[in-house]
Amino acid sequence: MFALALHGGAGTIARATLLPADEMLYRNALEQALNTGYDLLRDGAAALDCVEAVVRSLEDCPLFNAGRGAVFTHEGHHEMDAALMAGHTRQAGAVAGVRQVQNPIRAARLVMEKTEHVLLAYPGADELAREYGLPLQPPEYFFTQHRYDQLQEALREGRMRLDHSQAQPAEAPTSPVTAPLEEPGKVEETADPNWKKGTVGAVARDVHGHLAAATSTGGMTNKRYARIGDTPLIGAGTWADTRCAISCTGHGEYFIRAVAAYDIACLMEYKGLSLEEACRMVVHDKLAPAGGEGGLIAVDAAGNVTLPFNSEGMYRASRIEGGEALVAIYK
């Protein structure tokens, strides 16, 4: 039985702040990515090829904080991270801080297949992509007005932001597509009710029983000092072995400290927990009490899928062979 799950970020996604037309845009983008991956798996594609294709679809969509929709750094450019991993071989590749690569997930796969390394950072990762002919884009390609507006607001406030949110009255929802909807991204709690952590990812089990995971992100608005989150760190935000495949989304520092993705595999191996039990323990019993808001998507060797999160919502979709598609945002 093949299976697929994907996410487009997690956080406080309130119905009152997402206009119906914009909600439909998000749902359509999630469904399109899901259909892309499901069709590949149905045709016998490898799990690794599937998750790469799904993440590329989400990277090409400006709604999500990855690839074309990546947020701006303090200096006004983009620094993108991505990783993928094949469960049956434990091969992995990742890039951090790339600036020109149209699809960072493709660069991560280059690292895995064309080098002896696991993680390359800017500028070397961009140079590798250039050498192998991956599509590169000028800064204008990654520019979106609402991301730029988010940066300007973050600069005025002198804070980082964890992805699109901005405090505003619940009775006057504003389009996240046409206006900023970004919440201050400090480590401490804030009063803003409308924040989302922007990362995209996919996990899959193919017809051969192989598992794979892929994750991509644009990081934090107004981030400085070449900050890197959990996404490209194997075991923190991305993991796959013969038991499970995991892709995380949330405040990366907490997922790094918890080695969240690998912890799920460990709980399954050493404690004998099911995928659902292990994911629940990590997301709700370990991350949440420490302040680690977010979620993850996971699939196991039997094709079971789970999509837990401890935030108000998570852009997500999943489908197993012969089953109905799930596309959801809220709890």
Domain at 293, CATH number: 3.60.20.30
**251 belongs to an annotated ligand binding site:** yes
Say if 187 falls within a structural domain: no
Say if 154 falls within a structural domain: no
**106 belongs to an annotated ligand binding site:** no
Are 134 and 107 spatial neighbours (Cβ–Cβ below 8 Å)?
yes
Neighbours of 26 (CB within 10 A): 21
Say if 173 falls within a structural domain: no
Residue 81's nearest CA partner among 246, 236, 287 is: 236
Say if 221 falls within a structural domain: yes
Say which amino acid occupies 132: Y
pLDDT of residue 162: 62
Residue 115 bears catalytic tag: no
**227 belongs to an annotated ligand binding site:** yes
Residues near 272 by beta carbon (within 8 Å), at least 6 away in sequence? none
**252 belongs to an annotated ligand binding site:** yes
**230 belongs to an annotated ligand binding site:** yes
Say if 277 falls within a structural domain: yes
Total number of domains constituting the chain: 1
pLDDT of residue 198: 78
Q: How far apart are CA 285 and CA 279, in angstroms?
A: 9
pLDDT of residue 12: 66
Catalytic residue (one of 199, 217, 221, 306): 199
In tens digits, what is the pLDDT along the chain, a chain of 331 residues? 999 999 999 876 777 778 899 899 999 999 999 999 999 999 999 999 999 999 999 999 999 999 999 999 999 999 999 999 999 999 999 999 999 999 999 999 999 999 999 999 999 999 999 999 999 999 999 999 989 998 998 898 877 766 534 433 333 333 444 333 333 333 333 333 344 567 999 999 999 999 999 999 999 989 999 999 999 999 999 999 999 999 999 999 999 999 999 999 999 999 999 999 999 999 999 999 999 999 999 999 999 999 999 998 999 999 999 999 999 999 8
**249 belongs to an annotated ligand binding site:** yes
Are 153 and 129 spatial neighbours (Cβ–Cβ below 8 Å)?
no
Q: Which domain holds residue 318?
A: 3-142+194-330
Residue 199's nearest CA partner among 4, 9, 6, 5 is: 9
Helix, strand, coil content of the chain in percent (nearest 5): 35, 25, 40
Say if 178 falls within a structural domain: no
The strand pairing partners of 11, in sequence order, are 196, 313
Say if 163 falls within a structural domain: no
Q: How far apart are CA 234 and CA 118, in angstroms?
A: 9
Say if 283 falls within a structural domain: yes
Q: What is the pTM of this model?
A: 0.89
Are 305 and 299 spatial neighbours (Cβ–Cβ below 8 Å)?
yes
